[in-house]
Amino acid sequence: MKKDNLAKVSAGGFIFCRWGVMILVWLAFIFKIKELVLLSFLILLLSALLTVRYAPMIKIWDYTLGFFIKTKQEVLNVQAMRFAHGAGTILSGVCVILLYTRVNIAWGFVLFFAIMKTISALGFCPASKVYVCMSNGTCCAFSRKVKKMRERK
């Protein structure tokens, strides 16, 4: 992996980001607050656009609690995190659209999103794993064939 694809961020900030968005989504679901879903959408969108180096929740941590609580640095794959934030943006965007158009099914989708965010917050980020798997060409027969085709060129 190229060095410019890696970013060092505070481990506390990264945890704050993962758990913060997850908590927002669960609070939105439990109390049926549409605005919290919209806020999580905006956080994920900004994180995808700005990359993990400048993700809003990580910066909030760094400039508030990060002054008092020093944590180690965590090295992250920038492209994998951008892909994961993009996937989260899409899922939360679908939730927002449904909340303002099809409320009868929207909260079920918000529950699904909350479960996915919980899986991600616990460190099993499916989207970043899919990105790494596909970019390395090691996760399925199709991607291995694509990798072999690239190597032949």
pLDDT of residue 140: 61
**Strand-strand pairing, 6-10 and 73-77:** antiparallel
Q: How far is CA 97 from CA 22, 34, 122, 146, in A?
A: 19, 10, 27, 35
Distance (Å, whole) CA 130 – CA 136: 10
Q: How far is CA 138 from CA 57, 130, 131, 147, in A?
A: 32, 10, 11, 8
Distance (Å, whole) CA 61 – CA 12: 7
Closest CA to 42 of 64, 61, 24, 15: 24
Closest CA to 84 of 52, 38, 109, 37: 52
pLDDT in tens, 94-151: 999 999 999 999 999 999 999 999 999 998 777 776 777 777 766 665 556 666 666 7
- CB contact at 8 A, 7 and 16: no
| pTM beyond 0.85 | no
pLDDT of residue 138: 64
